[in-house]
Amino acid sequence: MSKKKSPCSKHANRFRLERDRTGLTREAACAQIGISFNTLAGYESGSEARQRIPRFDIAVRMAAVYGCTLADLACPSYLEDVHLLPRKNAA
């Protein structure tokens, strides 16, 4: 699991909102995504000290479980980091 801090503080809110929208508990979401409770808690944490971002394959699984798109889960800077959007400062 990645320990990279999120470049966008809105990740945690989006992860939690999408999970809440599905009505899944953290435990149920973890089981369906295939990650530990602590890992999901780190993704959903608003604390910069604990906040983590998922690897791309985990983000894809999260989107599938939550019935949303990657764009629903991520702020633009994350999509730039995984090369789904061009960087704004690219020459």
Q: Which tokens belong to 63?
A: 């989107």
Mean pLDDT by 10 residues, the chain (91 residues): 50 84 96 95 74 86 93 67 54 49
CA distances from 30 to 7, 25, 34 (A): 23, 8, 6
Q: Which of 13, 11, 41 is nearest to 25 (CA)?
A: 41
Report pLDDT for 14: 83
pTM value is 0.69
Report pLDDT for 53: 79
